[in-house]
Structure 1
Amino acid sequence: MSVTLFLVATLFGLLGCIFYWLHRHFQYFEVRGIAYEKPNYILGNFNGIHRTRSFVEIYSKIYKKFKGTGPFCGFFWFQRPSAFILDTQLAKNILIKDFNNFVNRGFYTNAEDDPLTGQLFLLEGHRWRTMRNKLSPTFTSGKMKYMFPTVLHKAEELVRILSNDITQEPNVEIRDCMGRYTTDVIGTCAFGINVNCLQNPDDEFRQMNRRVFTDQRLGRLGFALLNSFPKFCRKIHMKSTPDHITDFYMTLVRQNIAHREKNNIRRNDFFDMLLDLKNNKLIKTVDGEDMSITVEEMAAQAFVFLVAGFETSSTTMGFALYELAQYDDIQQRVRDEITATLAKHNGEFTYECMKEMVYLEQVISETLRLYTVLPVLNRVCMEDYVVPGNPTYVIPKGMHVVIPSGAFHRSADLYPNPDEFNPDNFTPEKVAQRDGIEWLPFGEGPRNCIGMRFGQMQVRVGLALLLKNFKFSVCGKTPIPMTYNKKSFIVSSEHDIYLYVKKV
C-alpha cells in the first residue's frame, strides 16, 4: 500500500471514529427514554443562532414543545448534554432546596489568564462563596442610600437632555437614550469616573461598553469549544475576552485606584467599597479567611457590575416605555401615582418614597416578566441527582442544567394571557399568593443577582422622572410587533425602538 493510500485510509478511519462517537454522544437522551430535541453535531440545539433564531426563541420553542413530557427534557448546550427544566418545582429544588448540589453555573472562567472572567457571576465553588461573602455587605439597603443621590442626579440630567432633544426631534430612539443614562450611572458608581454619555453619546467609555457586547475574541466554533470543554480550555490557557477590552478596563481601574488613594477621595460608591476590600479596611477575616481582594479581582467585579447593570437596566427601561406607549391608560395611571407620591413629599424625590410607588413597581415587574433580560438560569449538577417523585429521571454528576425562566414567564399555566402586558399580574395580593419561583428575572436562592437592589433603584428613579415629565406614544418608526436580536444572549430588540415624546 502506498503512503498516500495509507494516509487517506487513516484519515477516513479517524473521521469514521469521530462520526461514530458523535452519533453515540448525541443519543444520550434517546437511550435513556428522555424526550429531547435532535441536535446539530457542532452547535447542539443552538442551530441557527446568530442567523435565523435568537436565544430566547430557541428556549421558548423547546419549552412549548416538550412541556408535560417529564420534569425535564434533553437539550444540547453545544456539545454538552443538558437537563432542560420543564417543571417549576424542580427548578425550585435546584435553585433553593438542593442548591448545594447545583452551586456552579458552568460558564467559562479563567481568572489567571483572562482576569475579567474572575467575576462573581462566573466564579465557581469555594471561590464564588468567598467572593460573594466579600461583596454582600456592599449591596445592602444602607449602601444603596449612599448611591441614591448619584442615581437621582443622573436621572435629572436625563430629563434635561431629553427636554432639549425633543424640541429638535420628538421621535426619540429610546434604547440609546436609556443606555446613555445607565452608562453614566454605572460609570460613576462602579468605576468612579465622571462619564458624560448623556451629553456626549460618542464618549469613549460608552463606545467601549458597547464593544463588550459586540466584539468577540472567538468565532462560533471557538465559542462552542469554550462552552463544551471548559476544563480543557483552561488547561491550554484559552481566553474569551478580547485583549483591548481587558486592557481598557484594567487601566481604568488602576488609574482610579491611584487617583483616589493619592488624593484621599471618597464618594461612598461601589468603587469605594471595592477599594476598602482591596485595602482590607472593611473586615479582616471570616472564619480565618482573608477578605481582601486583588486589583485584578477588583477590576473583574467592577466590570461585571457594569455589564450586568447598564445593559439590563437600560433594556428594561426601554421595554417598559415601549409597552406604556401602547397603553395610554396604564401610562397615565402610573404617572398619576408618581405625581401624587412626590406631592406628599413636597416635590422631593427621596429614597424612601420609591417604596410608595407601588404601581410603578408593578409596571417594572410585568416588564421583566414579558422581557426577561436573561432568559435562562444555568447550573451544573455536582453529584447524581434523582428527581424527587420521579426516580426514572436522574441528573448525573457534571451535567449542565438549563432553567428557562423567560419561558416560564410566558406560560399560560402561570400567567393568564401571558403575552399581554398587564401590570395587575403583580398586585400585592397576587404576589403574596404566587410561588416566588414563578418570577425569576433576578434568579432565586443563594446565587440570585447580588446587584438586584441597585438595578431596581436606577430603573425606578429613571422611569419615575421620565413619566412625571413626558408622555410616550408610538410613532411610524416604532417596531410593532417586537422582534429580538439574534446575536445577543440577552433579550434585546432587533431594531431601534423609536417613540414619540412630548412634555406633560
Structure 2
Amino acid sequence: MLETLDRWLLQLGIFSSIVLAALYVYFKISYSYWEKRGVFTLKPKAPFGNFSYSLLFGKNPEYEVTEFYKAFEGHRIGGLYRFTNPSLLVRDTDIMKDILVKDFKNYFARGLKFDEESEPLNGHLFSISGPKWRNLRVKMTPIFTSGKIKTMFGSVVECGKELHTSLQKIVRNGETIEVKDFLARYSTDVISLCAFGIQCNCLKNPNADFRNWGRKVFEPHFRQRLTSILNILYPSLVYTLKLSFIPKDVSNYFRKMVNDTVEYREKNNVERNDFMQLMIQLKNKTLGAVENNDTNFPVKETDELNSNAPFEVTMDVIAAQAFLFFLAGFETSSTTMTFCLYELALNPDIQERLRAEIDTVLGKHGGNITYESIFEMEYLDKVVNETLRKYPPVTVLTRECTKPIKLRGTDVTLEKGVQVLLPILGLHHDPKYYPDPERFDPERFSEEEKKNRPPFSYLPFGEGPRICIGMRFGLIQTKVGLISIISNFDVQPSEKTQVPLAYDKNALVLTSAGGMWLKLVNRQDK
C-alpha cells in the first residue's frame, strides 16, 4: 500500500516537474521575443506579462500603459507582453505619424475583436476594420461635414440654453454642485435630439428614460470591466467568449428605439435635421453628393480595404452607428467640459480672460450663440485644446499590424498581428513637448507654440484615416456647453473639490473619482 502511494507520488512529482519545466521553457522563449529583435523591454512576469496589475485588480490597463511610457524614456519604442503576446509601445512621434498616416495600409485595424452576430451594436465605425470599415467610413463622411453639422447647431444651442436655465434654478449663493451630472444630462439632451430626434429633457428630468438607459451603459460592472481589460490584453478572447461592453437589455432598448424611429418617419414622411435622418437617407440611397472635405481618408487604397462585396446600410448598421454617436458624444464631451470647468475654477485669471472673450464675441452677435461666433472665440479654442491635452478622454490608441513592415529609423520589422500601443496620456504629459505638463496653460496652443512642437505630439482624437469622424460635432457641443456656463456663472473651487485630482481607474474613459464638485455663483449676484 505504502509502496503504491510512494510510486504514485513519485510519478506525480516527475509529471509536475516536466510540466513546470515545459512552462518555464515556454515563457522563457515567449518572453525573449523583443530581446531577439533588439527592442528594449521591461521584465515581464509569468503568466500575465507586463499587465499583472490590471488583471489581478481589475483596473483599466490604459493607466499601466501611461506608466510604461515613462519607463521607456530615452527609447523610441519599447516591447511589452500581454500574457505571452508581444505589444509594441511607441514613444517617437515620427513613428506615430507612419502608423497613423503614412503606412496606414499596414495598421488600418484597431485590433478589437467583437462578435457582431451576437451583438449587432458592436458593428460600429470605431471597432470594425477592413472593407466593411472602409465602405462605412466613405458612406458616413457626408454626415459629419460642416454643412450637415450646421443644420443641427440650433438644437445644440437650445440645449445650451436649457443647461443655463436648469443651473440658474438651483444655484443660490454660490452653491456647490456635482457638475459632471449636469453636463452629462446636457450631453444626453444634445445627443438624443441630434442623433435620435427625441426630446428627452434630461436637464428638466434627471430620471428621464433615455438618461437612465444611457447611464446604465457606463455603470461599472464585472462584464464591462472584463471586456475592457481583455480588449487591450487578449482581444481574440473577447470574440471567443462573445463578450461586449453593452448589456443585453440596453442593446434591445436602443435597437428597438432606432427601428421604431425609422419606421415612424418613413411611414409618416417625417424629416428632421438630425443624424437619424441622414442615416435613413444612406439606407435608402438618397443622401446627396459627398461634401468631400475628409482629407484624412487614404487616397491610395489597398487590397485589404478594397472589396467588391455589396455593403448595405441595414437597420442594425444604423442602430450601431447611432449607438456610437451616443457613446462618443455623451461621455467624451461631458468629461471634457467637466475637466475644463475644474481647471477654470483653479485658474480664475484664465476664466476671466475667457469670459471677456465670450462677452465680446456674443455682443457682436446680439447676445446669441451663433455658428459663426463659435469660430471667432480663439481663446476658447485654446482652452478646450489645453483641456484635451491634459485630460484626453481616450488615453491609449491601439493598432494592429496587418502586414510586416520595418519601423522608420530602426532595424525592427514588425510582424503581422503584433499590437501597437500609442500612449496619448503619456505623450500629452511629456515635458519634452509640454514643459511643466501639469500646469494648465492655454497659450501652449498659440500658433507660435504649435509650430515649436513636432507634428503628432497632440492626438486627442487620433489622426489619419481613422481620426474621430465626429470630432467637429463633439467640439461644437463642448464649446456651446462651456459658453452657456461661463457667460452666466463664475466657477469656483469648493471645500469638496479634489486638488490634486484622483482618477477612477475602473472607468472606460478618463474620469475623476468621486465626481466633480464645484461652486457656481450667478454673475448677477456678484
Question: Same fold by TM (over 0.5)?
Answer: yes
RMSD: 2.7
- Give the alignment of 1:247-286 within 5 angstroms: 247-282=252-287
- Give the alignment of 1:361-400 within 5 angstroms: 361-391=381-411, 393-400=412-419
Q: Determine whether 1:319 maps to 2:339.
A: yes
Shift of 1:418: 1.2
Contact 2:175 2:520 in 1 (8 A): yes
Alignment partner for residue 333 of structure 1, among 353, 360, 364? 353
- Once the two structures are overlaid, the 10-residue window that deviates more, 423-432 or 343-352, is 423-432
- Rounded Cα–Cα distance in structure 2 between residues aligned with 1:254 and 1:425: 46
- Rounded Cα–Cα distance in structure 1 between residues aligned with 2:363 and 2:157: 17
Shift of 1:227: 5.1
Unaligned runs of 5+ in 1: none
Give 2:87's aligned residue: 82
Contact 2:125 2:133 in 1 (8 A): yes
Give 1:476's aligned residue: 495
Distance 1:118 1:41, change over 3 A: farther
Give 1:60's aligned residue: 66
- Rounded Cα–Cα distance in structure 1 between residues aligned with 2:253 and 2:24: 43
Give 1:166's aligned residue: 171
Distance 1:178 1:65, change over 3 A: same
Aligned partner letter, 2:514: H
Deviations 1:132-184 (A, max 9, x none): 00111100000110110010000000000000011387101011111110011
Shift of 1:238: 5.3
- Rounded Cα–Cα distance in structure 1 between residues aligned with 2:159 and 2:224: 37
Alignment partner for residue 295 of structure 1, among 315, 321, 325? 315
- Rounded Cα–Cα distance in structure 2 between residues aligned with 1:138 and 1:115: 21
Contact 1:317 1:459 in 2 (8 A): yes
Deviations 1:60-117 (A, max 9, x none): 2211111213x21012345531100011111111111111111010012222222111
Contact 1:79 1:228 in 2 (8 A): no
Give 2:293's aligned residue: none
Q: Determine whether 1:498 maps to 2:517.
A: yes
Aligned partner letter, 1:335: R
SS at match of 1:437: coil
Give 1:348's aligned residue: 368
Shift of 1:190: 1.7
- Rounded Cα–Cα distance in structure 1 between residues aligned with 2:20 and 2:261: 54
Deviations 1:174-197 (A, max 9, x none): 111111100111111222211121
Aligned partner letter, 1:351: Y
Q: Determine whether 1:451 maps to 2:470.
A: yes
Give 2:482's aligned residue: 463
Contact 1:485 1:493 in 2 (8 A): yes
Contact 1:85 1:91 in 2 (8 A): yes
Distance 1:143 1:81, change over 3 A: same
Give 1:111's aligned residue: 116
Distance 1:423 1:164, change over 3 A: same
Shift of 1:341: 0.3
Deviations 1:398-430 (A, max 9, x none): 100001111111111111211100000011332
Shift of 1:287: 9.8
Distance 1:499 1:232, change over 3 A: closer
- Rounded Cα–Cα distance in structure 2 between residues aligned with 1:4 and 1:205: 63
Aligned partner letter, 1:417: D
Distance 1:329 1:237, change over 3 A: closer
Aligned partner letter, 1:465: S
Q: Determine whether 1:242 maps to 2:247.
A: yes
Tell me the TM-score normalised to structure 2 length: 0.88
Distance 1:222 1:281, change over 3 A: closer
Shift of 1:13: 5.4
Deviations 1:275-319 (A, max 9, x none): 111222226999977564011111110111111111000000000
Contact 1:280 1:292 in 2 (8 A): no
Q: Determine whether 1:214 maps to 2:214.
A: no
- Rounded Cα–Cα distance in structure 1 between residues aligned with 2:353 and 2:265: 45
Distance 1:114 1:338, change over 3 A: same
Contact 1:341 1:353 in 2 (8 A): yes
Give 1:309's aligned residue: 329
Contact 2:110 2:399 in 1 (8 A): yes
Distance 1:217 1:275, change over 3 A: farther
Shift of 1:378: 0.8
- Rounded Cα–Cα distance in structure 2 between residues aligned with 1:268 and 1:308: 20
Aligned partner letter, 1:444: E
- Once the two structures are overlaid, the 10-residue window that deviates more, 425-434 or 352-361, is 425-434
Contact 1:284 1:292 in 2 (8 A): no
- Give the alignment of 1:180-219 within 5 angstroms: 180-214=185-219, 216=221, 218=223
Q: Determine whether 1:430 maps to 2:430.
A: no
Shift of 1:272: 0.8
SS at match of 1:483: coil
Q: Determine whether 1:439 maps to 2:445.
A: no
SS at match of 1:436: coil
Unaligned runs of 5+ in 2: 291-305
Give 1:126's aligned residue: 131
Contact 2:188 2:330 in 1 (8 A): yes
- Rounded Cα–Cα distance in structure 2 between residues aligned with 1:324 and 1:205: 30
Distance 1:229 1:58, change over 3 A: closer
Contact 2:60 2:229 in 1 (8 A): no
Tell me the TM-score normalised to structure 1 length: 0.92
Contact 1:323 1:421 in 2 (8 A): yes
Contact 2:220 2:506 in 1 (8 A): no
- Rounded Cα–Cα distance in structure 2 between residues aligned with 1:239 and 1:360: 37
- Counting aligned pairs with the same residue, the percent is 38
- Once the two structures are overlaid, the 10-residue window that deviates more, 326-335 or 224-233, is 224-233
Aligned partner letter, 2:315: V
Distance 1:73 1:266, change over 3 A: same
Shift of 1:245: 2.2
- Rounded Cα–Cα distance in structure 1 between residues aligned with 2:81 and 2:63: 15
Q: Determine whether 1:405 maps to 2:405.
A: no
Aligned partner letter, 1:329: D
- Rounded Cα–Cα distance in structure 1 between residues aligned with 2:70 and 2:428: 12
- Rounded Cα–Cα distance in structure 1 between residues aligned with 2:161 and 2:226: 45
Alignment partner for residue 418 of structure 1, among 437, 447, 453? 437
Contact 2:192 2:200 in 1 (8 A): yes
Aligned partner letter, 1:246: S
Distance 1:209 1:457, change over 3 A: same
Aligned partner letter, 2:86: P
How many residue pairs match? The answer is 502
Aligned partner letter, 2:357: E
Aligned partner letter, 2:41: Y
SS at match of 2:257: helix
Aligned partner letter, 1:315: T
Shift of 1:220: 6.3
